[in-house]
Chain A
């Protein structure tokens, strides 16, 4: 079966712009989580959604937001981009809250 699909794979944005990243979970998976990965901070939890509801949120500023649609697909948005937002953004899906499967990520570069 198809894995977790993230689009786009690579993105270059300018400071101050906003960006939307997309994640299609594995079919049947209702939980979608987002993580930011940087060399300095490692994998940091952003938020988790289940059945269109955000159940938990990490310690990121309000510029980072997300949502989940009725088909479990999810998007995350980052507004007013800063250089420090350059990272690999990973989406993971699970049937519930265990055994998450990750996508290959979207590499965002802010210039």
Chain B
């Protein structure tokens, strides 16, 4: 399928290593954040979310860290696998009642065999 973004920052990681994908968000009023994974030719797939009253949330092989002081999110993927190769987006919801999400530009993760 057509690439999601032609000039995305790319993170190359060896299979089995841990990956850390970073995202800076724009609005200190944002209170809900989501990480999405998008594979070629598909729509974004929900990975994990976190609310602003939390600093860390863990899922299966994934952890999201939220630093509200510097408005920074990170997604950590443990034991990265070839199937993790995709573009990863963070999305912020700018406060209750706005009903829209602002997406980051995305990071392409390449897993090297």
- Chain A residues in the interface with B (C-beta under 8 A): 4, 31, 33, 35, 37, 39, 42-45, 48, 50, 55-56, 58, 88, 90, 92, 97-105, 107
Contacts and interface: CB of A to CB of B under 8 A. Distances in A.
Nearest to A45: B100
Nearest to B45: A102
Contacts of B100: 33, 45, 48, 56, 58
A100 B98 CA distance: 14
A42 B99 contact: no
30 contacts: A31-B99, A33-B99, A39-B4, A39-B6, A39-B7, A42-B105, A43-B89, A43-B91, A44-B103, A45-B100, A45-B101, A48-B99, A50-B99, A56-B98, A56-B99, A88-B2, A90-B43, A92-B44, A97-B93, A97-B96, A97-B99, A98-B34, A99-B34, A99-B49, A100-B34, A100-B46, A101-B46, A102-B36, A102-B46, A107-B2
Nearest to B103: A43
Given A39-B3, A97-B93, A104 B43 contact: yes
Interface residues of B, number: 29
B106 A42 contact: yes
Contacts, number: 64
Main secondary structure of the interface of A (DSSP, over half): strand
B43 to A, nearest CB: 4
Interface of B: 2-7, 32, 34, 36, 41-46, 49, 89, 91, 93, 96, 98-106
